[in-house]
Amino acid sequence: MAESREDRLGECPADTEFVGKADICKGCPGRDYCSKSSGIDPDQKFIDVRMNAIRNKILIMSAKGGVGKSTLVTCLAISLAKNGSKVGVIDLDICGPSIPLMLGIKHENIIHSEYGWKPIISPYFGIKVVSSQSLLESSDSAVVWRGPRKTNLVKTFVKDVFWGRLDYLLFDLPPGTSDEHLTSTKVLKSVKLKGVLLVTTPHKLAKDTMCKCVDFCRKVDVPVIGVIENMSLYKCPCCGETTEIYPDGGVSEVLEREMGVQMLGKLPFEDKLSELGEDKLLEEDSIKKIVEYVQPICKYIS
């Protein structure tokens, strides 16, 4: 039997065709019961219907926190939507959601309708958003959830939300390779994914953990679109000269050379991005800057 995804991950394949048959099942007390099961998740056909109505499904991952991933997701969403695309964002950073604040919907709650949960509509070009933040009573409430509850929420966001037809659905994943990553790649495995955008900073410390991210993507059979080196350059406001923050860093070059991952671009520090964290909407000038900021990346996903 060919090695299954779950054997590669060392994960229980309870809701897959390999239920009770994978190598990991040998010696498991539940094997007799599981081997009689079809392993088909009855929810999967609903997930497939929802997701097949969306043209480009893109996961955005980073190895470490603080690399500006959610900010980049927000900028990509604004840029794509401003250029006429229908865009949705699933904020899967369940314990540390920041997308609602940046997309101007921090105080909005998700509404239930006869067609499913209605995503919240951002004032920025009608971007549709779901986030754990929109399920909390207060914006300061902590999410204290273990793995299975997070898994259910990820599944709910793709199955029960009425996304309609979209050009892009961006999945903002938390740092690392954990529950949210496993669940999202698992529920999306029967629909065509555009792939994963990896985000890093140029510091050498990020290199090993980024390699783990690439390895994760390969183990779960998800294509990697490429790596973005964020906060990589500094442009002098006086003379306009551009300087590399870590001249001997070059994490994206190493990933390209050693792991065959395409480098999509090095992005500079952009002071206008700090306005995304403020509790007010961006001015036209700041939106223009944001669109320019991610322009080098958009061409790889459109």
The binding site for ligand SF4 (CB under 6 A) comprises 12-14, 19-20, 24-25, 28, 30-31, 34
- For ligand SF4, give the closer residue by CB, 31 or 82: 31
Parallel, antiparallel, or unpaired for β 242-244 and 224-235?
antiparallel
Give me the least distance between CB of 2 and ligand SF4, in Å please.
16
Least distance (Å) between residue 45 CB and ligand SF4: 21
Pick between residue 10 and residue 126 the one whose CB is nearest to ligand SF4: 10
Please, what's the largest Cα pairwise distance for the chain?
72
Contact partners, residue 214, CB within 8 Å, separation at least 6: 198, 224, 255, 259, 261
**C-beta closer to ligand SF4: residue 12 or 245:** 12
**Smallest distance, ligand SF4 to C-beta of residue 44, A:** 16
Cβ closest to ligand SF4, residue 34 vs residue 75 = 34
DSSP string, 74-98: HHHHHHHHHTT--EEEEE--SSS--
Percent of residues in the chain assigned helix, strand, coil, to nearest 5: 40, 20, 40
Distance separating alpha carbons of residues 216 and 184, to the nearest angstrom: 13
> Residue 7 Cβ, how far from ligand SF4 at the closest point, in Å?
10
Closest to ligand SF4 by CB, 22 or 227: 22
Q: How far apart are CA 179 and CA 18, in angstroms?
A: 20
Taking the complex as a whole, the smallest distance from the CB of residue 299 to ligand SF4 amounts, in Å, to 43
